[in-house]
Each structure stands twice: as structure tokens, then as C-alpha cells.
Amino acid sequence: MTIFLSPSRIRAMHESGAVTMADYVAAVEAAYRDQGLGDFQILPRQNFWVERAGQAKPASLKLGGGLLKNVGVMGCSMYSTGYGGGMNLWITLYSAVHGGVEAILHGGGIGPMKTGATAAVAAKYMARPEAATLGLIGTGEQARTQLMGLMVVRPLKTVRVFSRAAENRDGFVAWAKSAFPGLSLQTTTGARTAVEGADIVVTVTNSKTPVIEAGWLAPGAHCAFIGAHYPDAREVDGATLRRGRVVVDDLDQAFHEKGEILIPLKSGEISRDIVLGDIGSVITGKLKPRGGASDITMFLSGGTSLEYLGSSAMLARKAKEAGLGQLLDGGDP
């Protein structure tokens, strides 16, 4: 039987604690482990642009897909953007064992959680074990799940926050104080103050131009650059990348759409070998991004369908176990 999980059902699972951020971290790690083992296939995100009369920017339909052999699922994620009201994302999940439709899920509530989990998995394998100070640039919805994910894998004690939007910044701090009472939370007057001396640096903004500078990064820092995934947008410049040991979520997708790489690559500031490999290779031990305590590691991620597939498989399993969601006929062959 196919299980249908609406936005309200998924939200209820989150709010009740039936599904936690630790569950997402484990699910995303399993997905990327399949990548590292070579037991996967992926369709890098495809963009279909929709020009509309009277609109300066086009809307789009985005499609990604993949197969995770050991997780045992395959499927696709599809969403529209640019029509107002955020993205309308749906995931169709198939069994890789018998080919039936396991689940149909709305991805709106999954997206921020799986993105936070992905950066957390990278930090688990790339950040120093004792990392305790986070410099966070950006305080929107995605910033909250970034902090949630990092708190699963590292013993953070201090979070320094910068955002140009005072309303978002204040809202984030109020939420974080409630969610993690033991954390020391500091708002800063600029990005530099947030980043300098931080053990972990996360940028999760909608900026098209760099928001930090290379010289701000402390030796030994781990960085996650999450916000941009268009070829003409980047949160950091080539000089910053040259200071680090760079890992991406998926090689094909990164060289297809990640502006942090494509812009300096086109200008000759960097070469393709600046990217050491993908996060799956790190998880499986094929790639060791940190040679010493002073190395600066960097994870560049625009999000892939593997994260959605792994997260959706976990959600479908937990929903079926708890008797949640709506069952649809016709899922099994």
C-alpha cells in the first residue's frame, strides 16, 4: 500500500517528536553512504524555466531523481518556484525491491530538515571533534534547521549570529533561546564578527554575492556554504575556496549549478581539482578532507534528490509504524 503524507501530517510528526532531527541526520547519512559506496544513481537537478508576461523573473519547474540501492528506494522530487508562496514540492518514492510506489509526500516541511541534516552529516565527518563555536550568517527558516542539525553532531556552546534583516535575527535568537536554553547566543553587528574565531561557519542566505571573506576564517574551521545553488550566485569567492579543502554534495550537480565553483572557475581563479570529492566518499573513508587540526574544511551543498529520497524513506517507514498518514490503493505491483 502507498502512504500519502500531507504537509499537516509531516508537520504533526515533527511537532510530536515522532520524527526528530537525529532521524533526519541518520537518514541523510545513509543516503550519502550509498553514494560513497557507488550504490546509487542520481539525476542532477533539472530546471525548466517559465517566462511569464509582465514578470521580470521567470518561474521554474525543478526535477531531480535518484536510486539508493541499500536504502532500497528510488524516486523523484519535483517542485515549482517563482509563483509566490514558496515552492510546491512533491516526492514520489518507489521501492527498489518490488517497484511499487511506497509513498507520496509533500516536501515543504522536509526541505529545511533534510538541508540541516545534510550540513550536520558533513560537520560530523569534517569538523574538529571539539568544535564548540558557530558563526552563522543568515537567520531565516533554513538557519534554524542548520542549528538543529549541528546540535545533533557537535557539542556547540556558543552561537554568533549575523543577518541584515533585524526581524529575522531577533526571531531566530528568540527561537534558539527557547529550543536550546544552554547555548550562549550572541548577535553581531557584522558578518566578520560572527565568523572570526568560529570553529564552524555556516552561510545560509539568499545573497548572490559573497557574504564573508577568506581572511576571516580561523585555522581549523569547518565551513558549510548552503544558501546558493544557481550558477550566477555565490556566498563566498574564489579566494575563500583556495583557503580550504573543498567537498561537495554531488560532483555532477556542483559543476552544473554551484556558483561558488562556476564563477571563479570561469575567471580562472580556481581549477576543477580544488574540489576533492563528494560527501559520500568522506563518509565511507575513501576521502579524508582533514589532514591536520589547522586545515580549513569546506562543504558546498545546493541539495540533491538523494537527501529527499533518504528522508522520505525514513518518514514513510515511521508513519507506517505509527499508523499515520493516508493509505492509497494501487501502490504495490
Q: Is the pLDDT of residue 333 over 70?
A: no
Query: Strands across the sheet with 326-328, in order?
Result: 40-50, 59-68, 73-81, 88-95, 101-106, 2-5, 326-328
State residue 229's pLDDT score: 80
Average pLDDT over residues 88-101: 96
pLDDT in tens, 5-43: 999 999 999 999 999 999 999 999 999 999 999 999 998
pLDDT in tens, 218-240: 999 999 999 878 899 999 999 99
Q: Is the pLDDT of residue 330 over 90?
A: no
Which whole-number Å values give the CA distances from 105 to 7, 24, 26, 46, 314, in the listed order? 8, 15, 19, 20, 12
Can you give the pTM of this predicted structure? Answer: 0.94
Of all residues in the chain, what percent carry a pLDDT higher than 90?
86
